[in-house]
A and B are shown apart, each in its own frame.
Chain A
Amino acid sequence: MITLDNVHKAFGSNKVLQGVNLTIPRGESMVIIGGSGTGKSVALKSILGLVTPDSGTITVDGQDVTKVERDAFLARFGMLFQGGALFDSLTVWQNVGFRLLRGSLKRPKDEAREIAIEKLRRVGLKPEVADLFPAELSGGMQKRVGLARAIAAEPEIIFFDEPTTGLDPIMSGVINELIREIVVEMGATAMTITHDMSSVRAIADKVAMLHDGVIKWTGPVADMDNSGDPYLDQFIHGRAEGPIEAVR
């Protein structure tokens, strides 16, 4: 279970998180929605320790994330980055098997390659792409490789940062379905941040709406359309009028 308790984070005078409280139960898929610049990525990166909160506590299974042994802690996580964040200098299979080629989860090279190809197959890519470089792949294929890398070490917790950004609607649908299937299949706890409502409906068990640095609404995805929350309502229907200021 992941818990954020009164988490604050500011960059200079820009107060991004102003007391975020959120609980993600084990095995559940939580999607955090909110406009651009509302702190969704900061919240996610704070859990991983990529960003240090100014105050508040973040725990994973009761352990404070600032006090855990980093290597073992991070070995529990997989993450799909917005732009893929694939390593340009490594081939596709070396990207996917990165964690299996070094560190505490190190395997023999042949075994790591075999697992990488299996994960590539799982996300719908043929073994032939294994020896290509990321620059030789389309955006959709890069996302799939990023997804394969995120699940390569069978993590307990998977984070997805804007998984469908930059993809056409059909490819977005494919990636959303893949994410859902993989999360269910692995029984993993998932946290996704997005402002793509089709992703929300495809991926989420629960939804949290982040605005002005706090969680404005949280609940099951089925309740989202009848929440009665004016912020959530405006966001999910994409209205210019409402409590969320839209800059024209």
Chain B
Amino acid sequence: MSVLAPVALIGRNTMGILAAIGRIAIFFAQTISHIVRPPFYLKEFGQALLTIGYFSLPVVALTTFFTGGALALQIYAGGARFNAESVVPSIVSIGMLRELGPVLGGLMVAARVASSIAAEVGTMKVTEQLDALVTLSTHPMKYLTVPRVLAATIAVPALIAVGDSIGIMGGYFVGVTRLDFNSAVYLKNTVDFMESWDIISGLLKGAVFGFIVALMGCYYGMNSRRGAQGVGRATKSAVVAASVLILASNYLLTELFFSA
């Protein structure tokens, strides 16, 4: 084995990563160009809205409810070290609205939706259904990608709005039943320290995360190959890529929204 083999391996992997970034950037640009040009498939958009938004509600609700409850317990325990137990309601609401609601909601949607889109579109690819769409004068990007990306961009903020509320309710439930907070005081503290930008920033993050989730699902689905194994690989890659991009973009958006 050549002594340069490890360097060559690093070089190959770097080239591979850069090529993948380039392909995703081209796919992103193509998606945007198809979003602004007719025809628009409203029925497919409606179906995607239902699948991505409505059917993801239970998993997002459960995740945020338990996270809100755990957050209240943690802040109470941590705050007790310097007599700051009273900040539980405000920190739970700020934490849920700005950070945990969007990120955990986005990650749960990535797990549920990016995988399902990649598997569905990937199966269509390997069974020649995408070719069939083309022969039937229908562009796969317009028929499959655009409705899903638009639906996710709209549905995920809505899911996060509901998830934020449920997460805050989870904190309230634990605060009142386990930590002996007065119900009215808890609610007053929650509302008093909440700012509209806390809500808006979380929803904007949700829109970006929704776009990423659907884009990754469609990209890996449309590029899957070699039968069932290829579809499995596409599904895994879509979830991993969507999750990593959600976490990375969350940092960038937080810098953008909240850095002084």
Contacts and interface: CB of A to CB of B under 8 A. Distances in A.
Interface of A: 45, 48-50, 70-71, 74-75, 77-79, 81-83, 85-88, 98-99, 102-105, 149
Contacts of B183: none
Nearest to B132: A85
A85 B137 contact: no
B135 interface: yes
A83 B128 contact: yes
B137 A103 contact: yes
A49 B41 CA distance: 23
A98 B131 contact: no
B128 A70 contact: no
Interface string B200-234: 00000000000000000000000000000000000
Contacts of A77: 135
B134 A102 contact: no
Given A85-B127, A85-B128, A48 B134 contact: yes
Contacts of B39: 102-103
Nearest to A49: B134
A85 B39 CA distance: 23
Interface residues of B, number: 14
B41 A74 contact: no
Contacts of B131: 45, 50, 81, 85
A74 B127 contact: no
B254 to A, nearest CB: 38
A49 B124 CA distance: 19
A81 B136 contact: no
B138 interface: yes
B128 A81 contact: yes
B14 interface: no
B139 to A, nearest CB: 9
A181 to B, nearest CB: 22
Residue among B41, B124, B129, B135 with most chain A CB within 10 A = B135
A103 B135 contact: no
Interface in B130-162: 131-132, 134-138
B129 A85 contact: yes
19 contacts: A45-B131, A48-B134, A75-B137, A79-B132, A81-B131, A82-B128, A85-B127, A85-B131, A86-B129, A87-B124, A88-B123, A88-B124, A88-B129, A98-B138, A102-B39, A103-B39, A103-B136, A103-B138, A104-B137
Contacts of A98: 136, 138
Contacts of B41: 102
B153 to A, nearest CB: 21
Contacts of A74: 134-137
Contacts of A149: 136
Given A102-B41, A103-B39, A83 B135 contact: no
B132 A99 contact: no
